Amino acid sequence: MATQEQCQVLDQTQVGPRYFKLTLKSLYISTNAEPGQFVNVRVDSGTEPLLRRPISLHKINREDQTFELLYEVLGQGTELLSKVIIGSKLDVLGPLGSGFKFDPEKKIAILVGGGMGVAPLLPLAQQLKTLGGRAVYALAGARDKSCLLCETDFAELANEKVVATDDGSHGRRGYVSDLLLDLLNNTVEARHYPQTTIYACGPKGMLKAVAEIALQRQIDCQVSLEEKMACGVGACLGCAVMTTGGYKTVCKDGPVFNAREISW
């Protein structure tokens, strides 16, 4: 179930060169949202831009009935979003989509985030911690130091956190998929692969690399995909992604899919 609601803006903070964190109030969304789900935000009350912008739920605070979005300013829509002032209202549709799944048999969780892809992994890390009984590894990659997000948050929630930057300005130099290979070769033993789930979100190329690594080792892998969206509720079929079972909608069947299902 989802709602369309005018949510009060409680906070808007710039957290990096083009990164912002937005805190919104909604009893319904904060109560019902699951990690991996998203909201579809109307950034302008007119027709320019016309369509809503999908943004992942980054923090879900049930106690104070709020949720947070972490986003990067890329174009007109996110630019307008970054101008939204505290105290105003924002038209939000959500919570939408099908989020991350949890299997009690899986005692090891490896979170792999590339760039903005860390956004939905944080509530996931929170949830995994609450569920307990798991070793949680958080791997994050970014272009450079200034683009690396949520490092301290992950440090608090995960048993181990490793970061990489493309240019080596912070953490290891290289890609987050290199970190994953390292972890699988050196830390998580092969006999534990059947009890492991890899959760990944980030650019398509990165997800493909992570999926390959996971599939080669027969490790369960869930990926969160992105596609251009219009309705966000499964009505327009605009956000199609090819799977082994034909086209599926990223907004409703996803955004989280089993990596095995996707026709990479």
Partner 1 sequence: MVELAGIKLNNPVLVASGTFGYGKEYADFFDLNKLGGIITKSVTLMAKEGNPPPRIVETPSGMINSIGLQNEGLEAFLKTALPFLAKLEIPAIVNIAGDTVDEYAELAKQLSKEKTVKGIEVNISCPNVKKGGMAFGIDPATTKEVIGAVRKATTLPVIAKLSPNVTDITLTAKAAESSGANAISLINTVVAMAIDIETRRSRIGRKTGGLSGPAIRPIAVRMVHEASRAVKIPIIGIGGIVTGSDAIEFFLAGASAVEVGTANFVDTAAPLRILAEINAYLAKHEISDYDELIGAFKE
Ligand X SMILES: Cc1cc2nc3c(=O)[nH]c(=O)nc-3n(C[C@H](O)[C@H](O)[C@H](O)COP(=O)(O)OP(=O)(O)OC[C@H]3O[C@@H](n4cnc5c(N)ncnc54)[C@H](O)[C@@H]3O)c2cc1C
Ligand Y SMILES: Cc1cc2nc3c(=O)[nH]c(=O)nc-3n(C[C@H](O)[C@H](O)[C@H](O)COP(=O)(O)O)c2cc1C
As annotated, the binding site for FAD includes: 53-56, 77-78
> Does the protein bind ligand X through residue 140 (CB under 6 A)?
no
Does 155 engage in binding with ligand FES (CB under 6 A)? no
Site for ligand FES in 223-262 (CB under 6 A): 229-232, 234-239, 249, 251
In angstroms, how far is CA 85 from the centroid of its own chain?
24
Q: Pick from 17, 235, 244, 264: which binds partner 1 (CB under 8 A)?
A: 235
* 89-128 footprint of ligand X as x/- string (CB under 6 A): ---------------------------x--x---------
Evaluate the omega torsion of the peptide bond into residue 123 and state whether it is cis, within 30 degrees of 0. no
- Say how far apart CA 250 and CA 167 lie, in whole Å: 32
Q: How deeply is 40 buried, as exposed, middle or buried, from its count of CB atoms within 10 A (0-12, 13-18, 19+)? A: buried
Residues with Cβ within 8 Å of residue 204, at least 6 apart in sequence: 225, 226
Q: Hey, is 205 helix, strand or coil?
A: helix
Per-residue b or e along 148-166, where b marks 16 or more CB atoms closer than 10 Å to that residue's CB: bbbbebbeebbeebbbbbb
* Coil vs helix vs strand at 28: helix
Q: Does 16 bind ligand Y (CB under 6 A)?
A: no
What is the contact mask toward ligand Y in residues 211 to 250, using x (rule: CB under 6 A)? -------------------------x-x------------
Instruction: Please list every residue from 213 through 252 that binds ligand X, using CB under 6 A.
Output: 226-227, 229
Name the residues that contact ligand Y, by CB under 6 A: 236, 238
Name the residues that contact partner 1, by CB under 8 A: 1-4, 42, 47-52, 91, 93, 227-242, 246-247, 252
